[in-house]
Amino acid sequence: MGSLSIAGLAVALWQWSVPRSPHTLVPSPWQSLLAILELAQKGLLTKYVIASLFRVTWGYVAALLLAVPVGTTLGLWRRGEAAINPVFQILRPISPLAWIPIAILWFGVGDSSAIFLIFLASFLPLTLTTVNAVHNIEEVHVRAGENFGLTKNELVKSVILPAILPQLIVGMRITLGIAWLVVVAAEMIAVNSGLGFLIIDARNAGNRYDLVVAGMILIGVIGVILDLLMRQLEKLPGVRWGYASE
Amino acid sequence: MKVRIARVSMRFANMHVLEDIELGVPAGEFVCILGPSGCGKSTLLNIVAGFLKPSEGEVTIDGEAVAGPDPRRIFVFQERGVFPWLTVEGNIGFGLFRQSESEKRERIKHYVQLVGLTGFEKAYPRELSGGMKQRLEVARALAVNPDVLYLDEPFGALDSITRLQMRRELLRIWQAERKTILFVTHDIEESVQLADRVVVLSARPGRVRRIVNVDIPHPRDLSDPRYIALRDQIFAEIGLAHQI
């Protein structure tokens, strides 16, 4: 209740300040809401939302499918990790957005470029999360697994993966947040649809700032929904042990 | 001899942990390995279980050299060893992946009952007390029907009442299933309550100082003069005056 009234207050403050602002282009909350309705009527709302979600899903899922086996292998194989770690450390501070020119060079303007950028943004954090989680596995669990006669593959499936899952889920949630940030930026440059494109296009084609803010609101709301969905994973019975208190 | 430890020594870097350990354990015997903290008793158990290779000497079981861990001989850690992502049933069934579904169900049911966890089949370890987790780990070990159990200070983290109950449970299970048991502890009373023989190790580097036969039938009366005599003998052996 408290947070709802604060949100209400913020919207009221927004409404109050718009007519008093020297920037005549900034829309009021009401105008922004009307802009969202306009998008819905034109059929652009679902089209753009789906376009953005589609790119995030492909880039993110591809990164996850590659990062978990790579991270697990590196986590178990210290020498391999030591060898590749400097490369990771150099790549890590490079914003995924810095790759936009190269993405366009390789994949042209279109979905592939955006998906590639999401993949880049997600792969490294997911891999590093997995490596760390494998390092944190309790030695007794691995020994118990070996004691019961598991082969290496069975050990990965029955001990390593379930043991890293709680930490991996936290990493997945944070990384999905990053991916959602990156898709908007990628769409401003590399494609002609999606919420990022909506924002940049509304500004360029006629200073429609109501549509700009409408796009921003949609991005925020969808980001919150994605995060809530990921949080549901943390409630699975087989991972709750990994989160300190309930 | 079921388990034969022959001239085992262990060095880590420049630390000499175990020296020239000789011990034979016949099938079905309950042996406690007793020693002060840091004497290498846990290292010895890990060597016997195949998790560590000794610097010298070897361990044979049924005449066969130990080359690594083996499901015929299960190591019970402190209760930390249960898998927190599996339910009670899942943990007990963990080692039964080569059995048929019906066989697996049978055994899970049997061992849930044996260790008194009926009603908790679907519970996760975080919902269990320390004593229950420890019983769960013992059940998981017994379910694969090993010949030998290795227990490394299994009751160390439990409160003293639960610890006494767990000892009674373990003796009951041992008498029912007749496993060979190697039990590491630093608790003198515990060793005299449980073992057929107590192997007393010296401080590091650990050597066998003495082997004490505990010739008292179960159930043991803790005020029996024989019990007290043996206990005090070990206290003296370790160099502790039996006074506070």
pLDDT tens-digit readout, A201-228? 998 888 899 999 999 999 999 999 999 9
For residue A217, what are the CA distances in angstroms to A46, A212, A213, A214, B14? 14, 9, 6, 5, 65
* Contact across the interface for A242 and B84, Cβ inside 8 Å: yes
Q: Is B25 helix (H, G, I), strand (E, B) or coil?
A: strand
Where do runs of H (alpha helix) occur along A92-160? 100-107, 111-135, 139-147, 152-155
Chain B environment of A144 (Cβ under 8 Å): 75, 77, 81, 83
C-alpha distances in Å from residue B109, one per residue of A223, B16, B115, B190: 46, 46, 10, 30
The 10s digit of each residue's pLDDT in A54-83 is 999 999 999 999 999 999 999 999 999 999
Pairing of strands B30-34, B73-76: unpaired
> Which of A150, A163, A241 is the closest to B125 by Cβ?
A241
Residues of B in contact with A242 (CB under 8 A): 84
Distance, in Å, from the CA atom of B189 to the CA atom of B222, rounded to the nearest integer, reads 9
Report CB contact under 8 Å: B81, A159.
no
pLDDT in tens, chain B (244 residues): 899 999 999 999 888 999 999 999 999 999 999 998 888 999 999 999 999 999 999 999 999 999 999 999 999 987 689 999 999 999 999 999 989 999 999 999 999 988 889 999 999 999 999 889 988 998 999 999 999 999 999 888 888 888 888 899 899 889 988 899 999 999 999 999 999 999 999 888 899 999 999 999 988 998 999 999 999 999 888 876 556 5
- In sequence order, the β-bridge partners of residue B9 are B56
Beta bridge partners of B23: B5
The answer as to whether A181 is a domain residue is yes
Q: What are phi and psi of B83, to 5 degrees?
A: -85, 115
Closest residue of B to A139, CA-based? B81
Please give the structure tokens belonging to residue A198.
């909506």
Domains of chain B, first to last:
1-72+181-244 (3.40.50.300)
Give DSSP secondary structure letters for B146-167: -SEEEEESTTTTS-HHHHHHHH
A143 touches chain B (CB under 8 A): yes
Interface of A with B in 172-231 (CB under 8 A): none
Q: Following CA atoms B55, B58, B59, B62 in sequence, which dihedral angle do they give, to the nearest 10 degrees? A: 160
pLDDT tens, position by position, A18-62:
888 887 788 989 999 999 999 999 999 999 999 999 999 999 999
Q: Which residues contact B230 (CB under 8 A, 6 or more apart)?
A: B192, B212, B214, B216
A147: closest chain B residue by CA: B69
Residue A120 C-alpha, separation from nearest chain B C-alpha, in angstroms: 31
Count of domains observed in chain A? 1
The yes-or-no verdict on residue A137 having pLDDT over 50 is yes
From A160's Cα to the closest Cα of chain B, the distance in A is 11
Give domain status of residue A10, yes or no: no
Q: Is residue A137 part of a domain?
A: yes
pLDDT at A246: 46
Separation CA A242–CA B230 (nearest Å): 45
Closest-approach residue (CA) in chain B for A238: B85
* Min distance B42 CA to chain A CA atoms (Å): 13
Domain contains A245: no
Contact flag B80-A239 (C-beta cutoff 8 Å):
no
> CB of A136 within 8 Å of any CB in chain B?
no
Indicate the residue type of A203.
R
List all residues 6 or more positions away from A95 whose beta carbon is below 8 Å from its beta carbon.
none
Tell whether A159 lies on the interface with B, counting CB pairs under 8 A.
yes
A69 belongs to a structural domain:
yes
Instruction: Note down the domain range covering A189.
Output: 28-235
CATH (domain of A110): 1.10.3720.10
DSSP B29-95: -EEEEE--TTSSHHHHHHHHTTSS--SEEEEEETTEE--S-BTTEEEE-SGGGS-TTS-HHHHHTGG
